Amino acid sequence: MEKRELFHIGEVARMFHLSVSSLRHYERIGLLQPEYIEPRSGYRYYSIRQFECLNTIRYLRMLDMPLMQISDFLKNRDIATIQELLQQQKEEVIRRQKELQMIERKISNRLRQLENALASEFDRVQIERTPPLRIAWIRNTLSIRSYLDLETSIRQLEEGQKDTAVFLGKVGVGIAKEKLLKKQYDSYDMVFLLLEPEDRYEGKVEELPEETCVSVRFCGSHREATLYYQKLERFLEEHRLMVNGFSREITMIDYGITSDTSQFVTEIQIPIATI
């Protein structure tokens, strides 16, 4: 074959909007071999008859088809094969779209939580209706001196899960109703994970109904929580309300978001009933 019928690898890369490294990679994996390699210089050349193959590769790569599947097709090109490949790729794209939509919802939820936390009115006790919740939880008695004290429990919640269910701002701790009634706030009885509708969790999950709670937010973390349990306790007594469930305490902004402890936001909620 005359050399004028060949095109240098750089020319081919420019014509097909590919990088030279991509063409070299195609060669390494056996997808497309150069028509001619100059023995002395090692320069790679491609012929016009290879352009159709390159067009096919570029088209299928635009559809995000893996190179090995493209290679298999090029070795066995027929209508039935390309139909099957395109159908498989369409199903994969639909699956990824659903995953991306789920991730988008999670990001949107977290952004709303952060905006909500940043707009907090600190140290004000209020009564509110909380929406139904879905939680996964483990009983685990612990005292929290730093955020590291929660790590073992979080790993237990994640154990055996196909997907990572723990996201920032979704892990909380609680004090049992019996201890709240006894005004014991020095340790926690459970660690829980707030599950969003799309979260798949393999294990015990509890559905909590819509409830009336007293709540308070403060600038700080779990270490400062005792003072706010006492504040909630005084509010309950003054308004003749009684504890009606375990507390839900979540750091809405903590070390996972910022190293500036002055920006930490923690919320405590306690379900209530009238006396």
Tokens of 225: 């929580």
pLDDT at 153 (0 to 100): 76
pLDDT at 202 (0 to 100): 79
Separation between Cα atoms, residue 259 and residue 76, nearest integer Å: 57
pLDDT at 180 (0 to 100): 96
pLDDT at 7 (0 to 100): 94
pLDDT at 199 (0 to 100): 78
Does the predicted TM-score (pTM) go above 0.85? Answer: no
pLDDT at 3 (0 to 100): 56
Task: Name residues of the chain where pLDDT drops below 70.
Answer: 1-4, 145-149, 160, 162-169, 275
Q: Which of 54, 48, 56 is nearest to 81 (CA)?
A: 56
Q: What pLDDT digit, counting tens, does each position of 198-219 carry?
A: 777 877 888 999 999 999 999 9
Q: Report how far apart, in Å, the C-alpha atoms of 69 and of each of 27, 57, 85, 164, 170 are.
A: 15, 10, 8, 29, 40
pLDDT at 33 (0 to 100): 94
Do 6 and 47 touch, CB atoms closer than 8 A? Answer: yes
Tokens of 180: 């709240």
pLDDT at 2 (0 to 100): 52
pLDDT at 58 (0 to 100): 93
